[in-house]
Structure 1
Amino acid sequence: MRLLDGFDLALDTFSERVHRVDDDRWDTETPCAAWSVRDLVNHLTSEHLWAPWLLRGATLAEVGDRFDGDVLGDDPVAAWDGAAAGSRAAFHASGALDTPVQTSGGPTPAEEYLSQMALDLAVHGWDLARGIEVDDRIDPGVADLLLGYAEEKSAAWQNLGIFDPPVPVPDSAPPQDRLIAVLGRRP
């Protein structure tokens, strides 16, 4: 599976789950200890609002704080849909993956940025599913695609406080369980 295809599948899955959030579930807890369902969707929406800017070459200073705080407003689903559509179009634009983007970690290859975004969609899609109590499956091809990347990066991310320490699972566990576990979640 190509990385862009994995991103698209993870984006579609996350979107489908956002559309399944009932009005009374936005304040429900997720496996991300500090985030409710709304907080989690807000986080992803903000990230995807940034993507078109960064992929066009904007600096962090140029984007500024425009996507800080509550970006969901009164219609979280519509806010997510708009951000997701803009992000998808930006990643699919001709030449989008050819030029490094500015991130908080400095200049980052666009393919690395795409990997980060795909991983965030897949793992937070699992978190969202758990929060709203729906099927939490990650597409097996997506899980397999992202597992090696997550294993390679997880120690550095833990040092930054981005993810909890890995949860032990057998080497024979399916890729989804190993992916979730390496990022500090209990499958």
Structure 2
Amino acid sequence: MADPRALVPAAIDRFTIRVRAVDPTGWDAPTPCSAWSVRDLVSHLCFEHLWAPHVLAGTPMDEVGDRYAGDLLQGDPPAAWWRAVARSRPLWTATEGHAAQVHTSFGWLPVGEYAEQMLLDLTVHEWDLARGAGLHETLDEVGVDRALAYIRSDPIMLTGAGLWGEPVPPTGPTARDELLALLGRRV
């Protein structure tokens, strides 16, 4: 299988397209993440991508501290997203600069596992954003297949600390249907 880090830039690009497509009146719409509006979902991903340069460099979380606490969107979710990924996206292809082990909320992980988690997050939240903002809900098959393989191989991602909703029965036979159902999404 390809290095998961190579798949993250395209997933960022797909999420960027969705962010740009949100109607200005749609930022407060609910998403399948019950506690998050469309705005909250984008803020979550901004946070993840502001942290990514530190994580990829092997910086421990406590050294980064709370520098990304507070209102990351500053009233302009698309601009905030662009600022976050302008720093994150180029680093995903600069693999020679990545630490072999990175520090995340799960502790120290191989950088490839961190990339799998980021790809999963981007792929599923792309669907959440599309559903919440009323956009088309098609997802990239390569991203879905990779995220599904990862979630099948790592049950902590399903059961850990309320990361995802409780699994539900899939509504169809596709990998997308299975991935979303495993993560508690009702298609």
TM-score (norm 1): 0.92
Please tell me the residue identity of whatever aligns with 1:182. Answer: L
State the 1:98 CA deviation. 5.0
Partner in structure 2 of residue 106 of structure 1 = 107
State the 1:113 CA deviation. 0.5
Deviations 1:84-113 (A, max 9, x none): 121111222242445111112211111011
Whether the 8 Å CA contact 1:97–1:111 is kept in 2: the answer is no
Runs of at least 4 residues of structure 1 off by over 6 A? none
Partner in structure 2 of residue 93 of structure 1 = 94
Partner in structure 2 of residue 137 of structure 1 = 138
Equivalent pairs: percent with the same residue?
45
Partner in structure 1 of residue 180 of structure 2 = 180
Whether the 8 Å CA contact 1:154–1:183 is kept in 2: the answer is no
TM-score (norm 2): 0.92
State the 1:6 CA deviation. 2.7
* Rounded Cα–Cα distance in structure 1 between residues aligned with 2:83 and 2:160: 33
Relative distance call for 1:185 and 1:65 in structure 2 (3 A) is same
State the 1:149 CA deviation. 0.7
Partner in structure 2 of residue 28 of structure 1 = 29
Please tell me the residue identity of whatever aligns with 1:104. Answer: S
1:6-155 matched pairs, under 5 angstroms: 6-154=7-155
* Rounded Cα–Cα distance in structure 2 between residues aligned with 1:116 and 1:93: 18
Whether the 8 Å CA contact 2:9–2:92 is kept in 1: the answer is no
* Rounded Cα–Cα distance in structure 1 between residues aligned with 2:21 and 2:93: 26
Whether the 8 Å CA contact 1:72–1:79 is kept in 2: the answer is yes
Deviations 1:43-75 (A, max 9, x none): 000000000011122111111011123211122
Comparing 64-73 with 46-55, which one deviates more in the overlay? Answer: 64-73
* Rounded Cα–Cα distance in structure 1 between residues aligned with 2:160 and 2:80: 32
Please tell me the residue identity of whatever aligns with 2:182. Answer: V
Q: Which runs of 5+ in 1 are unaligned?
A: none
* Rounded Cα–Cα distance in structure 1 between residues aligned with 2:53 and 2:186: 33
* Rounded Cα–Cα distance in structure 1 between residues aligned with 2:109 and 2:120: 16
Whether the 8 Å CA contact 1:96–1:110 is kept in 2: the answer is no
Which secondary structure does the structure 1 equivalent of 2:25 belong to? helix
Whether the 8 Å CA contact 1:9–1:142 is kept in 2: the answer is no
State the 1:150 CA deviation. 1.1
* Rounded Cα–Cα distance in structure 2 between residues aligned with 1:29 and 1:142: 24
Deviations 1:116-142 (A, max 9, x none): 011000000000000111111111111
* Rounded Cα–Cα distance in structure 2 between residues aligned with 1:159 and 1:61: 21
Whether the 8 Å CA contact 1:168–1:181 is kept in 2: the answer is yes
Q: Which runs of 5+ in 2 are unaligned?
A: none
* Corresponding pairs, count: 186
